[in-house]
Amino acid sequence: MTGLLHIGLILFSFVIFWLQANAAKRLLKRRHKKEKSRLVHMTSHWAFQLANNSLTFSRADRFCRGQFSSLATLEQSEDQEGVFELLWHTKHNLPIWVRDPSKAGSSAVPLSKQYAQFSALNFPKESCEGFARLNMSFPTMSSVSVCVRVQWNAEWTEVSTIFSYAAPIFTNEFQLRGQVDVQGRILLALIIHGKHLPYKASFPNDGAWHHICVTWLRISGHWAIYVDGDRKDMGSGTDSPRNIYGDGIFILGQDQDSFGGNFTEPFFGNITDLNVWNISLETRHVQALNACSPMTPEVLFSWNLADLSNHPTVKEVQVLLYCPAVNQQMELHDCRTLRGWSSQQLPLLSWTDCSDPLLFICRSRRERYLKMKQITDSQLSGPTDFMNHLMKLSNKTQAVLVQQPSGLSSLAEASALLDISAQALEDTQLEGLEQADMVSIIQLLSLAADVPAQPGTEATNYSRDVAQELSRHFISVADRIIGEDNALKWQAIKEVVNGPMDVVKSIDRMVTCLIPRLMVETDHLIIHRPNIKVEVQQQMLQEGSRGFSFCGPETEKNSKLDCISVPRQKIQTLHDNGFVKLTLVNTWYGSLWPLFNLEENITMVPTVTDGSQRYLGTVLGSSVISTTVMGDNQPVSTAVRFQLQHRVQNPTGTVYDPVCAFWDFDLTPEAGGWWNTKGCDVVSKQIGYTVCSCNHTTNFALLLQVYEAQRSPENEKALQVLTFVSCGVSLCGLLFTFILFIAVGIPKSDRTTVHKNLIVALGIAELLLMCSDWASANEAACFVVTALLHLFFMASFSWMLVEGLLLWSKVVTVNISEDRRMTLYYIIGWGLPVLIVGITLTVSVDKYKADDHCWLNVKNDTIWAFVGPVVFVLAVNTVVLCRVVMVTVSSARRRAKMLSPSSASKLQIFDLTWAVTRPVLILLPVLGLTWLCGLLVHLSVVLAYIFITLNALQGLYIFLVYALYNSEVRNAIKRIKEKRKALSFTNCSQPTSFLPSQRAPMTSWGRIPPTPSSPETSETSGPASSTNTSLVIKNESFRKESFVSFSLKPVSENQVVRLTGFKPSGC
């Protein structure tokens, strides 16, 4: 009984302890929530969160970025209101960090914008006597800073003096020396007040330009040596804590064993941009100067060759130096802060040292903050399977991926955390990730990517091993979360995370920052995972350097790879611009396209089509491939060429049109960026892949514009055959019409002249259209055919416009002479097309022709050089036709009123119907109104057949209406026939004589057969002076419309008139 009571007391105590612990935990959670809510203020669109930790500006910016937000700005009234309310409620002291939205981004800019020209001094190796002296008097200095840009002669291995300052009473007052060590590095050492400091700071003996700064401060005795913006060596204390003597001599390229002379340690190479200050510069100043940002306060000497005296062997040269601050407006000293509010509650801004720790406010969208809060609360309620496994691997009892404001302190710490994260992801692959896991891992990647950017020691073999280990773990974790199996997870957290391109940005940032450590004693590095492949290539540039290329993994046998390359010509340009070392970071992402929701269209203006397809939207349709070019460890931008496979399959009834694009992180910063096509063009489209070129470096992909195909392949083939056959028939009709107009001798008029010009223009256009398929095999020939098609089709429509204007002049009285009118018609018919085609070729010669056939490019505004004028012509001719119909109907009504009342109604209906139908049928072909069907072909394939049939048979229709059934043509043909029949009588071979018979009445005719010796025959060929009269009598007894020709000749003996009838041959 006592034992049971004892056990009961123990259980009761355990229950009480558990209840107290849970109560304490709930109380602590409520306090945490209350404290956290007190640090947040929300407006209608934004959430402002005050971070309760003081950090430097760069760390504060990284912390906000890790929270999927950004440092608050004060540009908009809503931002000012939110920050003011938050600070008023929290009672925190100012100043706080705020972001300056006008600051330039960190992306690479074109080479032409990154370089500045400097005048430099060349110290040749052929002479040991070269030096340059500063022509100025120096005061006594309690502090000094000297910065100079140096290009060391790589062949020189002895001790050299870069500069020396000697005072009258002490020669080795201030001096910078350099020497080459066994590893090929240039070691630097200072001499201050005669004390030689150790050789420790260094830079590679690579023949490149290097920026060197040395500083000294008497009060603390602190000195430092900076190389390329990084502090390489520092110390404090000298033998004599005194000022540097004044009235000394400053020499470049030599030491001074005596005051102003006795040179023994010459420098060989180039020197420029020497500046001297009587202050001790800080690190931020040196970093700004390294980027060529000017520093004018307290300057004693600013680089100017006019203020130097040079030895004759020292020559002046011009050099190009990498200077990003020249165009990026790099800040030299401070970062933006909010220090208070004015009486009107307007923000008072100031500038503070960026290294000072201050409070800051992160701003994010309201919906994003609420979703993030929901995910964070779910983490506090209980860890997920992934988190439990992670805590087990790390031997910790709480979540290890919760972001701390201080971030990760070292590469080793980041590498270890990524390693156990990769193991936990592998072990929990079947369980999958929760939303909170995805967000935490993305935050970890962002933190780890910022670790290399923190100040560290010089790159060594040990740091290389740590960096390579970190990069492998980093890529392994990133590969897991961008896998295709996490597509639904990405959609679930899209309100918090901008998308998978956030991971891409972290990878770019991590690899770029780790390059100095990754590439120690190697020039090639590959990290390959199923969804990610990273390759780093490095080489020293020289004349004739090869181009760089990179390809993703091979997916299928003999399939086209995803590849990107930097052309050899661009590499040569980098060498010509002074680059010595080139590093390329190439990355391939094979699983990003499924992570972008295919049901959500990418906002993009569709390419203009010919009406055969209906635009549905744009989707990501390929892998993502990227390249980053580093010239002498500085990002540069250059043109690239890449090809990508089409990853999305065409569903039935749809077609894709590829567009070359890149991810622009600066396009919509709050959303993490968006796709952009600026500077990218399609080089060629092939079955299954597309080749592109872009004039910059970044992350590239193919966007596939989706169209609903309105025609099946069978219909397309049928339409092509129908077009070719109909154009052939039409061309024959136009040719016969033109021949008839010339041959039958139709009376000349402005109407027939216009008809002839229309026939010529339309006939040549259709002939070119039939030959365009054969010309498409040759690029030059296809371009010429395109231009000629544009010209003659434009001329066809111009003459259709002239037809309408001519018809209008017949309907409406126009006081203009025929000659002047025809001059105007020729200007419109031929001059206007030549002008339009010439302007179009001048403006858009590079984008004039379509990619896959010989016609205008329908994917840009070039097509409007044809469509615009055609729409105008059709609109004018429609008005003309309506006017003609109105006049015809009016005339028909007047005729109907003259009829008898009994028959008026029936005849009036007939006349009105014919008055409308007749001009429409006659004028449709020459006015071009059948082309109106072209505006509707995208609605149905039936309309496409109708459109092609009507317009391809336009020539045949013109032949039928304006030639075969034209009264003028028929009358001209009739006259030709009559003339030929009349003239054919003179060709008869059997003459007939008619004489009065002695036995017959005078009214009868007698027929005497001719004989060869008869007088009629001889008289017919008598002298020319004889009178010969011909009489032509229409003989009604002969066949219809037959004639008999008679010759009347006087006879001398009996004065009898002989009539000789010539019967036509074959009569």
Q: What is the pLDDT of residue 64?
A: 87
For 625, what's the count of Cα atoms within 13 Å in the CB-facing half-sphere? 26
Q: What is the pLDDT of residue 515?
A: 85
614 pLDDT more than 90: no
State the DSSP code for 183. Answer: T
Q: What is the pLDDT of residue 327?
A: 47
The separation between CA 733 and the C-alpha centre of its own chain, rounded to angstroms, equals 47
Q: What is the pLDDT of residue 625?
A: 94
Strand-pair partners of 525: 536
pLDDT tens, residue by residue, 138-192: 999 989 999 999 999 888 888 999 999 999 888 888 999 999 888 788 999 999 9
Sign of CA dihedral 229, 234, 237, 239: negative
Q: 203: exposed, middle or buried (C-beta count within 10 Å: 0-12, 13-18, 19+)?
A: buried
Distance in angstroms (rounded) separating the CA atoms of residues 127 and 311? 10
Q: Which residues contact 578 (CB under 8 A, 6 or more apart)?
A: 115, 209, 319, 320, 321, 322
Residue 95: is the preceding peptide bond cis (ω within 30°)? yes
For 1043, what's the count of Cα atoms within 13 Å in the CB-facing half-sphere? 14
Residue type, 351: W
214 pLDDT more than 90: yes
Mean pLDDT of 32-42: 63
Lowest mean pLDDT among 252-261, 698-707, 906-915: 906-915
1053 pLDDT more than 50: no
- Could you tell me the pLDDT band of residue 273, with boundaries at 50, 70 and 90? very high
1013 pLDDT more than 60: no
939 pLDDT more than 60: no
- Of 153, 290, 232, the residue nearest 516 (C-alpha): 232
Mark out the alpha helices in 91-229 (DSSP H runs).
111-114
934 pLDDT more than 70: no
Residue type, 651: P
Q: Which residue has the higher pLDDT, 861 or 78?
A: 78
Lowest mean pLDDT among 270-274, 303-307, 364-368, 949-953: 949-953
Q: Which two tokens stand for residue 303?
A: 């680089």
468 pLDDT more than 90: no
At 744, which helix (H) or strand (E)? Answer: none
Q: Which residues contact 580 (CB under 8 A, 6 or more apart)?
A: 206, 207, 208, 540, 541, 632
Mean pLDDT of 549-553: 89
Q: What is the pLDDT of residue 878?
A: 79
825 pLDDT more than 60: yes
- Could you tell me the pLDDT band of residue 847, with boundaries at 50, 70 and 90? confident
328 pLDDT more than 50: no
- Could you tell me the pLDDT band of residue 559, with boundaries at 50, 70 and 90? low
Q: What is the pLDDT of residue 249?
A: 93
At 707, which helix (H) or strand (E)? Answer: strand 699-709
Greatest extent of the chain over all pairs of C-alpha atoms, in Å: 187
Q: Which residue has the higher pLDDT, 975 or 401?
A: 975
Residue length, the chain? 1067
State the DSSP code for 258. Answer: B
- Of 224, 218, 222, the residue nearest 242 (C-alpha): 218
User: How many other CB atoms are there within 10 angstroms of residue 720's CB atom?
Assistant: 12
State the DSSP code for 762. Answer: H
SS3 725: helix
333 pLDDT more than 70: no
Q: What is the pLDDT of residue 406?
A: 57
Contact 803, 927 (CB under 8 A): yes
pLDDT more than 70, % of the chain: 73
Distance in angstroms (rounded) separating the CA atoms of residues 17 and 955? 101
Strand-pair partners of 318: 119
Give the dihedral of Cα atoms 411, 417, 418, 419; nearest 10 deg.
Answer: 100
Q: Which residue has the higher pLDDT, 780 or 1008?
A: 780
834 pLDDT more than 80: yes
At 142, which helix (H) or strand (E)? Answer: none
Contact 837, 830 (CB under 8 A): no
Sign of CA dihedral 390, 391, 396, 398: positive
458 pLDDT more than 70: no
Q: 206: exposed, middle or buried (C-beta count within 10 Å: 0-12, 13-18, 19+)?
A: middle
700 pLDDT more than 60: yes
582 pLDDT more than 70: yes
State the DSSP code for 403. Answer: P
Q: What is the pLDDT of residue 121?
A: 94
Mark out the alpha helices in 332-410 (DSSP H runs).
366-381, 385-394
For 723, what's the count of Cα atoms within 13 Å in the CB-facing half-sphere? 17
Contact 498, 673 (CB under 8 A): yes
Q: For the chain, what is the radius of gyration of the CA atoms?
A: 47
Q: What is the pLDDT of residue 399?
A: 54
Mean pLDDT of 33-52: 76
Q: What is the pLDDT of residue 817?
A: 59
Mean pLDDT of 703-721: 72
Q: What is the pLDDT of residue 184?
A: 80
Distance in angstroms (rounded) separating the CA atoms of residues 785 and 853? 10
pLDDT more than 90, % of the chain: 16
- Of 840, 862, 841, 843, the residue nearest 851 (C-alpha): 862
Mean pLDDT of 466-491: 89
Q: What is the pLDDT of residue 909?
A: 60
Residue type, 993: S
pLDDT tens, residue by residue, 773-792: 788 778 888 889 889 989 99
- Of 178, 218, 179, 172, the residue nearest 195 (C-alpha): 172
668 pLDDT more than 90: no
Q: What is the pLDDT of residue 544?
A: 73
209 pLDDT more than 80: yes
Q: Which residue has the higher pLDDT, 120 or 887?
A: 120
- Could you tell me the pLDDT band of residue 1030, with boundaries at 50, 70 and 90? very low
12 pLDDT more than 60: no
Distance in angstroms (rounded) separating the CA atoms of residues 769 and 785? 8
Distance in angstroms (rounded) separating the CA atoms of residues 123 and 272? 11
Q: What is the pLDDT of residue 224?
A: 94
Lowest mean pLDDT among 241-255, 387-401, 620-634: 387-401
- Could you tell me the pLDDT band of residue 897, with boundaries at 50, 70 and 90? low
Q: What is the pLDDT of residue 605?
A: 53
Write down the residue that tokens 């017959």 correspond to.
1000
Q: Which residues contact 350 (CB under 8 A, 6 or more apart)?
A: 95, 336, 337, 339
Write down the residue that tokens 């790390």 correspond to.
394
Distance in angstroms (rounded) separating the CA atoms of residues 111 and 638? 8
pLDDT tens, residue by residue, 508-517: 988 888 888 8
267 pLDDT more than 90: yes
SS3 122: strand
Lowest mean pLDDT among 330-344, 453-467, 595-609, 751-765: 595-609
Q: What is the pLDDT of residue 11?
A: 45
- Could you tell me the pLDDT band of residue 933, with boundaries at 50, 70 and 90? low
DSSP code per residue over 817-876: -HHHHHHHHHIIIIIHHHHHHHHHHHH-STTSB-SSSSSB-TTSGGGHHHHHHHHHHHHH
Distance in angstroms (rounded) separating the CA atoms of residues 117 and 923? 70
Write down the residue that tokens 């770019």 correspond to.
508
Distance in angstroms (rounded) separating the CA atoms of residues 654 and 290? 55
449 pLDDT more than 70: yes
Instruction: Report the mean per-residue pLDDT for the chain.
Output: 77
